[in-house]
Copies of this chain bind each other. A is one copy, B any other.
Amino acid sequence: MKTLGIIGGIGPISTIKYYKQIIEEFKNSRFDEYYPHILIESLNMEEVIEQIDYENFTQVEKILLKSIRNLESAGAEIIVIASSTCHIVIDDLIKKSPLPIINILDCVYDKVVRNNYRKVLLIGNSFTLTHNIYQERLGRYKIKSIIPDSMDIQEIQEIIYPNLENGIVLPDKKEKILKIIKKTIKEERDIDCLIITSTELSLIIDEEEIPIPVIDSANVHINKIVNEILKK
């Protein structure tokens, strides 16, 4: 059984989802009652977000690399970053990391390819959507990514921060997001699935209300993580 190191705190809601769900899936996948050994480093979100906003990616990489080394010192054997946004530096980070990292982009990519989807709708915070984080990875297999228009992205961003980030779900915002998704699906033809890239948005999106299949990036990530920990 491998010890998992989670880099979290960006934001805390996502970290809690990873922690809770890994334990639940772990218990469901075994006959005995066993809990995984997990180490979490929860960073100061404001510090990381500031560096990301200023596009100081070298600094972001430094912060994450320091976290990986801290977690390694504490006994971690595999690393995951509980934030899509931080995956902006994942390729370089994987090269420099002393420990293997389970990449959320690979997990989503695998799921899309397995389902033979060709055109996906991405929804998430404005940084992740406008910096081609998922688009670039999916594009390697000629999968086309659609994002909402810039005004809608701005609107979603304001729904995530500060409300959703603090776990507050407002009913009118729930309607608003659903409207944006449905509008984009209607305008663009042949969208195969919706990919939720910011964990906070899963709080406000009911999969039953979406007319196409939904991939929650954190869920496919967590699934892969549990399989990896259980490997001998």
Spell out A's residues near B (CB within 8 Å).
Answer: 9, 12, 15-16, 19-20, 23, 32-47, 70-71, 73-75
Contact = CB atoms under 8 A, between A and B. Distances in A.
Nearest to A73: B73
B43 A40 contact: no
B37 A43 contact: yes
A42 B15 CA distance: 13
Contact of A35 (B16, B36, B45, B70): B45
A12 B34 CA distance: 12
A12 B20 contact: yes
Given A12-B19, A16-B16, A37-B42, 4 more contacts: A9-B35, A16-B19, A39-B70, A41-B74
24 contacts: A12-B19, A15-B19, A16-B19, A16-B20, A19-B19, A32-B46, A34-B46, A35-B42, A35-B43, A36-B42, A36-B44, A37-B42, A37-B43, A37-B44, A38-B42, A39-B42, A40-B40, A40-B42, A70-B73, A70-B74, A70-B75, A71-B74, A73-B73, A73-B74
A123 to B, nearest CB: 25
Contacts of A45: 35
Contacts of A37: 42-44
Contacts of A46: 32-35
B38 A39 contact: no
Contact of A44 (B34, B70, B74): B34
Contacts of A33: 46
Nearest to A10: B35
Given A34-B44, A34-B46, A74 B16 contact: no
Nearest to A70: B74
Contacts of A71: 74
A9 B19 CA distance: 10
A70 B77 CA distance: 13
